[in-house]
Amino acid sequence: MSQDVVVSLKNVNKIFYSKEKEHHVLKGINFEVKQGEVVALIGPSGSGKSTCLRTINALETITSGNVEVCGINYRDSKQSLHMIRRNTGMIFQRFELFPHMTAKENVALGPQLVLGKSKEESTQMATDLLKRVGLSAHMDKYPRGLSGGQQQRVAIARALAINPKVLLCDEPTSALDPELVDEVVDILVDIARTGMTMIVVTHELYFAQKVSHRTMFLESGLIVEQGNTKEMFAAPKTERLQTFLKRITHQT
């Protein structure tokens, strides 16, 4: 793997097994994401976007194929999984903050537990990051005292607190009231501008257009089309992407 490739998926298959049947959700996914690239993953509901994202930090194990983050495969050794989690920050649709911890404590946890920083140093890092996401005035509040947009900004600060090599975003704006979406989008666009490598699963085309260099369109577990985001949205090549874009555009 060349040095500037941060994430690599090769022929990745994921099958969920239940009593009655098997569900083949990812059907031979191949892609690479290079240092500093921002990639959007779009597609219909159930197409496998979140599952695909979750295989990267091994929140979801794969059935076959190969996934590497910074050249590390989680199956390599006992330390590999820890190293992969150490290199990947993740933001979830529903924030997933610890409710019994303040914003600052939520953000300081990663530096302390993952990076082994002292309490003082971790708190300082949390303070700096919360300032960066515009939450100076809310650091000592608990999640229940914050709006959805503010909670997601705490979650972004928490994801950045371990200095990850790649930021994985799983529909970071879907659970927000429409008037709160922009405050989160703007922060993520700012982070993308700093050169952070990012993979963003989203339903919102305007967000994908604003933040990403490249888009991959997933349907029924296959990458049907991918390319430069602006070009792809302006002139989709496949009929399936054309239909998808039309449907989404009519919904909004």
Ligand X SMILES: Nc1ncnc2c1ncn2[C@@H]1O[C@H](COP(=O)(O)OP(=O)(O)OP(=O)(O)O)[C@@H](O)[C@H]1O
CB of 33 to ligand X, least distance (A): 18
SS3 106: helix
Q: Is residue 230 involved in binding ligand X (CB under 6 A)?
A: no
Work out how close the CB of 50 gets to ligand X at its nearest, in angstroms, rounded to a whole number: 3
For residues 43 and 111, which CB has a smaller minimum distance to ligand X in the complex? 43
- How many residues of this chain interact with ligand X, rule: CB under 6 A? 11
Minimum CB–partner distance for residue 104 and ligand X (Å): 31
The residue among 10 and 27 lying less far from ligand X, judged by its C-beta, is 27
**Torsion-angle region of 169 (φ positive above 0: left; ψ -120 to 50: alpha; else: beta):** beta
In the complex, least distance from residue 37 CB atom to ligand X, rounded to whole angstroms: 21
DSSP string across the chain:
--TTEEEEEEEEEEEEE-SS-EEEEEEEEEEEEETT-EEEEE-STTSSHHHHHHHHTTSS--SEEEEEETTB-TTS-HHHHHHHHHHEEEE-TT----TTS-HHHHHHHHHHHTS---HHHHHHHHHHHHHHTT-GGGTT--GGGS-HHHHHHHHHHHHHTT--SEEEEESTTTTS-HHHHHHHHHHHHHHHHTT-EEEEE-S-HHHHHHH-SEEEEEETTEEEEEEEHHHHHHS--SHHHHHHHHHHHHH-
In the complex with ligand X, the residue whose CB is nearer, 48 or 143, is 48
Residue among 105 and 225 whose Cβ is closer to ligand X: 225
Per-residue binding letters, 154-173, with ligand X (x by CB under 6 A) = --------------------
Annotate each residue in 104-143 with x if it binds ligand X (CB under 6 A) or - if it does not, as one string: ----------------------------------------
Take residue 101 and report the two structure tokens written for it: 């911890």
* CB-nearer residue toward ligand X: 59 or 114: 59
Residues 3-32 that bind ligand X (CB under 6 A): 16, 23, 25
Window 32-71: contact mask with ligand X (x via CB under 6 A): -----------x-xxxxxxx--------------------
Q: How far is the CB of 160 from ligand X (least distance, A)?
A: 23
Of 23 and 246, nearer to ligand X (C-beta) is 23
Task: Summarize as ranges the residues that interact with ligand X (CB under 6 A).
Answer: 16, 23, 25, 43, 45-51
